[in-house]
Structure 1
Amino acid sequence: MVALHVGIISFNSCFPCLPGSRLLRLRFTKRKSSSVAAMSEDPIREWILSEGKATQITKISSIGGGCINLASRYDTDAGSFFVKTNRSIGPSMFEGEALGLGAMYETRTIRVPKPFKVGPLPAGGSYIIMEFIEFGAFRGNQSVLGRKLAEMHKAGKSEKGFGFDVDNTIGSTPQINTWTSDWIEFYGEHRLGYQLKLALDQYGDTSICQKGQRLVKNMAPLFENIVIEPCLLHGDLWSGNISSDKNGEPVILDPACYYGHSEAEFGMSWCAGFGGSFYNAYFEVMPKQLGFEKRRDLYMLYHYLNHYNLFGSGYRSSAMSIIDDYLRLLNV
């Protein structure tokens, strides 16, 4: 959902809310005790001036914030760092983000900001420190983005099945990533089923919940005659989470990673602006599977339901329309 990086502003929606040297260690030991105490009360500053290999922070700039996190740029004599903080949520959310960024980074395919450190804030809340990427003036070449994303999907595989090592969040909604051997079961229970239950609990929406569950129980024919391998997914790929660096290379950020069917990556395509050159380049690396067009809306449904749960009834009709269309298609 919504993100601006450089800053990265993590809203997660289409719409806004509707490593230390010996010299350095010696330098620390010469500080007065009051300074040491102050350092321990600021873990972000402490990390940057030790493991971050900086000797001084020259400037701290606020680069925005959203419904969920605040973002800052820390300029130092060792380069710049990007920092997100949240004053009310513990480290688990940023730990999930860091693990996702790390997994994508390790594929050595598409550029993502390298995560450095996650931790709690002394007064409550949490922070994440990561690589600061200077963005270019344009989003970058769509065909390069498509090819790089497909290369990530091809390189990022899991032998554990579908899921992720930790639960994370899609926006501020919990995203359950319990390892599951069967994709239809995983998507039905931990993606659509979870969102449908939220709609029932939050709005008392029995109609969308009951119809949605009928779809979940009968959607297997949409996956006939294909083999689904777990691929590393960004998980929340819309236009605000896509940019390019100053060299024009694509950058993706603010992930909600898990291992899933590669087609599920396009669930936010209604808010991503992918064009023909993107899909042509993607399918040259990851060939299109039989029935792709019939499953496309099924993967959009997860994100429409999440927007409904996060932002209200403005997204309900889109979710219900998809459910009704599939119930007619499947004749159930």
Structure 2
Amino acid sequence: QARRMFEGEMASLEAILKTQTIKVPKPIKVIDLPGGSTAFVMEHLDMRGLNRHAALLGTQLADLHLHNQKLGEKLKKEGSIVGEGQMEVQFVDQFGFHTVTCCGYLPQVNNWCSDWVSFFARQRIQPQMDMLEKKSGDKEARELWAQLQLKIPGLFNDMEIVPALLHGDLWGGNVAEDDSGPIIFDPASFYGHSEYELAIAGMFGGFNSSFYSAYHSRIPKAPGFEKRLKLYQLFHYMNHWNHFGSGYRGSSINIMRNLVK
């Protein structure tokens, strides 16, 4: 289990590192230790809590999210794939990731999918529902999810979503800074909708208004942003419910109730 978790984290760090948009600790190696345990060796960074570089984090996070889109635009402009082999990062036109990652200790399936709404429903919310079903068989959650599935496509009317490389678990405990600027770590990356990233960021604090202002000056809020943010927070509340128990049931149920109205 630990090896799978660390390999997903290593692949995530490598992917973010290649974009050259935002600082992460350089991953070195996943190693097996005597007795069956596993360790993940990475660069040591002398970090402190995010403070004066919050706005720069917003700018750099937006640059990370726009990186793949810009690659796509460059490819289109050049009108040819000649020389693509020399590019450090390839343009990705689907949602997913090339390996399993873990959000907490629970594995996330990242099978490639051309449609974001399908990817999110099937590979993010549905596995969480399946786990809840096994543990508690929560009837209300099951019924609300059946209704919500029908409503989700309507939250994405007239939206063209270009896959964005995401950190995937960007809460306040996974960001820091040093003298050179912001640092993000402990990712669970995949190519998804950029708005997804802001869901957990808004749930547990740690990000001030300068972070959001800088981010949205690069990627403005699209119509319907607030409702979609709730939908993305639903994943994290359900993930917490599956990790830590029914203390997170109320938040999960409330979001579903509000979204099916």
How high is the TM-score relative to the length of structure 1?
A: 0.69
Question: Which residue is equivalent to 1:155?
Answer: 67
Measure how far apart 1:216 and its partner are: 1.9
Question: Which residue is equivalent to 1:31?
Answer: none
1:146 to 32, 54, 58: 58
| Unmatched runs of 5 consecutive residues or more in structure 2 | 70-90
Measure how far apart 1:218 and its partner are: 2.3
Question: Which residue is equivalent to 2:186?
Answer: 254
1:292 aligns with 2:225: yes
Q: Are residues 156 and 116 of structure 1, via their aligned partners in 2, closer, same or farther at CA, if it must alter by over 3 Å?
A: farther
Structure 2: distance between partners of 1:266 and 1:172: 21
Question: Which residue is equivalent to 1:212?
Answer: 145
| Unmatched runs of 5 consecutive residues or more in structure 1 | 1-88
CA offset digits 1:114-172 (Å, max 9, x no partner): 10111322321211110100013654422111101001111146525101001111101
Question: Which residue is equivalent to 1:116?
Answer: 28
Does structure 1 conserve the Cα–Cα contact (< 8 Å) formed by 2:55 and 2:210? yes
Q: Which has the higher contact order (CA 8 A, sep 6+)?
A: 2
Task: Judge which range, 130-139 or 144-153, deviates more.
Answer: 130-139
Q: Are residues 202 and 137 of structure 1, via their aligned partners in 2, closer, same or farther at CA, if it must alter by over 3 Å?
A: closer
2:125 to 176, 179, 192: 192
Over 4 Å off, 4+ runs:
none
Which secondary structure does the structure 1 equivalent of 2:41 belong to?
A: strand
Measure how far apart 1:236 and its partner are: 0.4
Question: Which residue is equivalent to 1:183?
Answer: 116
Structure 1: distance between partners of 2:235 and 2:51: 25
Question: Which residue is equivalent to 2:6?
Answer: 94
1:27-42 matched pairs, under 5 angstroms: none
How high is the TM-score relative to the length of structure 2?
A: 0.87
Does structure 1 conserve the Cα–Cα contact (< 8 Å) formed by 2:68 and 2:92? no
Corresponding letter in the other structure for 1:203: S
Larger radius of gyration between Structure 1 and Structure 2: 1
Structure 2: distance between partners of 1:119 and 1:216: 41
Measure how far apart 1:279 and its partner are: 1.6
1:133 aligns with 2:45: yes
Structure 1: distance between partners of 2:6 and 2:168: 15
1:317 aligns with 2:250: yes
Task: Judge which range, 278-287 or 193-202, deviates more.
Answer: 278-287
Q: Are residues 252 and 203 of structure 1, via their aligned partners in 2, closer, same or farther at CA, if it must alter by over 3 Å?
A: same
Structure 2: distance between partners of 1:136 and 1:171: 22
Identity %: 41
Structure 1: distance between partners of 2:109 and 2:159: 25
Does structure 2 conserve the Cα–Cα contact (< 8 Å) formed by 1:160 and 1:179? no
Measure how far apart 1:274 and its partner are: 2.6
Question: Which residue is equivalent to 2:211?
Answer: 278
Corresponding letter in the other structure for 2:222: Q
Structure 2: distance between partners of 1:310 and 1:166: 22
Does structure 1 conserve the Cα–Cα contact (< 8 Å) formed by 2:54 and 2:207? yes
Measure how far apart 1:212 and its partner are: 1.4
Structure 1: distance between partners of 2:30 and 2:5: 10
1:243 to 176, 197, 207: 176
Measure how far apart 1:206 and its partner are: 2.3
Question: Which residue is equivalent to 1:74?
Answer: none
Corresponding letter in the other structure for 1:170: C
1:65-104 matched pairs, under 5 angstroms: 89-104=1-16
1:267 aligns with 2:179: no
Query: Aligned residues, how many?
Result: 239
CA offset digits 1:160-215 (Å, max 9, x no partner): 51010011111011111111110000000111111111111111112202211321
CA RMSD, 1 decimal: 1.5
Task: Judge which range, 152-161 or 224-233, deviates more.
Answer: 152-161
Measure how far apart 1:277 and its partner are: 1.7
